[in-house]
Amino acid sequence: MVNGARLRVEEVGVGPETVVFSPALFTNRGLFDPPIATLARDYRCIRYDHRGQGDSGFGVPQPSRELLGTESLYRDALALLDQLDIGRCHWVGASVGGFVGVRLAARHPDRVRSLVLIGLSTRRVSRADLRQIDLLGWMVRASHPLGPVGAAVRRRVAEQVMRNMFGATFMADPARQRDREQWRQRFLAQVVPEAMPMLREVFGHPGNPPELLARIQAPTLLISGEDELAGLDEAHNDPLQAQRVIPGARLVTITGAGHMVLVEQPEAGTAAIAEFIRAASAA
């Protein structure tokens, strides 16, 4: 129990240092199977599901909807470190898991040995986009009692989630058809009315502004998928902007990947993470 929520937490591996893995929206701790398989030989590896996501009470009503937002997830993570007696750790965060890691590293520099941020965005979601998210939530709630028509609406929403999460390479690769279908069904199972408060609070995140990023002292690795950045100008390239603000940060771009680097290119993503963490440990 962490801050009143039952979080699903798993531990594997032993070692003098700990790596904590924090997943992206619409995923769970299983996202980190590849890097954990590599790092658990030498590190204590902890992974968990955020409240309201994965196996930590997906869709369970909260005393306050704000408890599903980024700041609350950060407070959960800090409390989890305390409960597990983790004084200092390497933090690997994907998407919203990276937002949590940014706050830990900026506000508690003594707790974060190194920081890996996968698919980081820095800007707040625009009001227009939030209105679109609210509309999506309304559509999902309205579609639920509509039988086949409602199911078709939810499939369309799930397909849009697919396009947002995965890059063009993964979506077009004939050899990944089975993988795509598995993720399509996973997303479809989460496009339900109970999940809409969580979706709204996570997407309504306060951003990762320069003044917060500049406070990070830990060695930092930013990992981005090349497909996700395709077509963006420099001003909208969030990982590049973050690299310029975080002292000494490195940026690695993974070919053939979108937002879900560890699904689309697990070997390349794992290699980048493992090399960075081991170098940070040796420094």
Strand ordering across the sheet containing 9-12:
9-12, 44-48, 18-22, 89-94, 112-118, 220-225, 250-254
pLDDT tens, residue by residue, 29-81: 999 999 999 999 999 999 999 999 999 999 899 999 899 999 999 999 999 99
pTM across the whole model? 0.95
When the candidates are 3.40.1190.20, 2.40.10.10, 3.40.50.1820, 3.40.50.300, the CATH number that belongs to 9-125+206-282 is 3.40.50.1820
Q: Which residue has the higher pLDDT, 192 or 225?
A: 225
Between 248 and 160, where is the model more confident?
248
pLDDT in the model for residue 173? 97
| Contact in structure between 38 and 277 (CB atoms under 8 Å) | no
Residue 123 has pLDDT above 90, yes or no: no
Task: Show me where the domains of the chain are located.
Answer: 9-125+206-282, 127-200
Bigger pLDDT: 279 vs 146 = 279
Length of the chain: 283
pLDDT at 37: 98
Query: What was the pLDDT predicted at 182?
Result: 96
What six digits make up the tokens of 126? 């625009």
pLDDT higher than 80, residue 22: yes
Residue 245: predicted pLDDT: 97
pLDDT at 133: 81
CB 92 within 8 A of CB 32: yes
